[in-house]
């Protein structure tokens, strides 16, 4: 399913340095995503996964390096303009507006100028993909289960009509049944809507079984990337997560 590698990447991150004050988290991090690809960002706790995704969506500004999306240099752009170009970011722990309804949460995703005029149409399409948008329409977001909240958060992201959907820890805290369901949702978003998905996840095997490719961060550096099948056999992945003795 992976597109041929010679095509220009949809997203390309090069030599990105990101720091919080004097605490540098990313060191020359690099990443490529082809259009319509599912890519997993992996790494032990504190490796810099969320920082990388936050720097792509514009929540953080890099100190050095570049982020190019569909030919546009975006690393100095404010986050809302990046959303307008087609990058949606589903935040870690969903971050829904707890006291808004499912419907209102989802509509807020269509804020950018490209998405707003088509929001009814987008919503209708999403209701087929995620029936709970209809059945739970008037329910307050905080009364949903974790998995349902994740679905609404993903729907809110899709309402922006993104070309690339980034999800930070889609499976965090979910029961195994729900993990399978969200995994299937990610697959359908790519297969049925042609939207590429970049996601962060702690569970290595689960991620690689879902993704076309994986990128592994270790201590703020992107040390490894490759097709999932390759990484699933990699002794290097074992070393990164379990140390020299593994």
Interacting residue with other proteins among 124, 175, 180, 242 (CB under 8 A): 242
Interacting residue with other proteins among 7, 23, 71, 113 (CB under 8 A): 23
| The one segment of 6-14, 43-51, 94-102, 183-191 that binds other proteins by CB under 8 A | 43-51
Nearer to other proteins, 73 or 238 (CB): 238
Rounded to whole angstroms, how far apart are CA atoms 15 and 30?
A: 5
Nearer to other proteins, 142 or 209 (CB): 209
CA 150 to chain CA centroid, Å, is: 12
Closest distance to other proteins from the beta carbon of 45 (Å)? 4
CB atoms within 10 A of CB 220: 23
Nearer to other proteins, 5 or 21 (CB): 21
Rounded to whole angstroms, how far apart are CA atoms 147 and 197?
A: 18
Residues from 181 through 240 that contact other proteins (CB under 8 A): 202-206, 208, 219-220, 232-233, 237-238
Closest distance to other proteins from the beta carbon of 17 (Å)? 12
Q: What is the DSSP string of 107-165?
A: HGGG-STTTGGGHHHHHHHHHHH-THHHHTTTSBGGGS-HHHHHHHHHHHHHTT--SEE
Examine residue 6 and tell whether it contacts other proteins (CB under 8 A).
no
The burial class, CB within 10 Å (0-12 / 13-18 / 19+), for 10 is buried
| The one segment of 6-14, 44-52, 66-74, 140-148 that binds other proteins by CB under 8 A | 44-52
Examine residue 76 and tell whether it contacts other proteins (CB under 8 A).
no
Provide the terminal-to-terminal Cα distance of the chain, rounded to the nearest Å.
32
Q: What is the DSSP string of 184-215?
A: HHHHHHHHHH--EEEEE-S-HHHHHHH-SEEE
Name the site residues for other proteins (rule: CB under 8 A): 21-24, 27, 44-46, 202-206, 208, 219-220, 232-233, 237-238, 241-246
């Amino acid at each position: 399913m992976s597109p041929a590698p010679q095509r220009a990447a949809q997203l390309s991150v090069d030599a990105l340095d990101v720091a919080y004050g004097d605490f540098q988290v990313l060191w020359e991090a690099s990443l490529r995503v082809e259009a319509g690809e599912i890519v997993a960002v992996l790494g032990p706790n504190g490796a810099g996964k969320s920082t990388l995704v936050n720097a792509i969506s514009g929540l953080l500004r890099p100190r050095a390096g570049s982020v190019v999306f569909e030919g546009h240099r975006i690393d100095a752009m404010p986050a809302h303009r990046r959303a307008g170009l087609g990058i949606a970011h589903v935040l870690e722990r969903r971050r829904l507006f707890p006291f808004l309804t499912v419907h209102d949460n989802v509509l807020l995703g269509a804020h950018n100028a490209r998405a707003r005029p088509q929001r009814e149409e987008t919503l209708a399409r999403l209701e087929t993909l995620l029936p709970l948008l209809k059945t739970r329409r008037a329910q307050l977001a905080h009364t949903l289960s974790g998995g349902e909240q994740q679905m609404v958060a993903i729907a809110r992201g899709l309402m922006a009509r993104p070309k690339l959907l980034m999800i930070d820890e889609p499976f965090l805290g979910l029961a195994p049944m729900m993990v399978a369901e969200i995994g299937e949702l990610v697959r359908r978003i790519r297969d049925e809507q042609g939207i590429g998905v970049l996601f962060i996840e702690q569970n290595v095997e689960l991620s690689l079984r879902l993704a076309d490719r994986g990128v592994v961060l270790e201590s703020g550096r992107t040390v490894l990337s490759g097709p999932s099948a390759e990484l699933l056999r990699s002794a290097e992945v074992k070393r990164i997560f379990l140390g020299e003795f593994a």
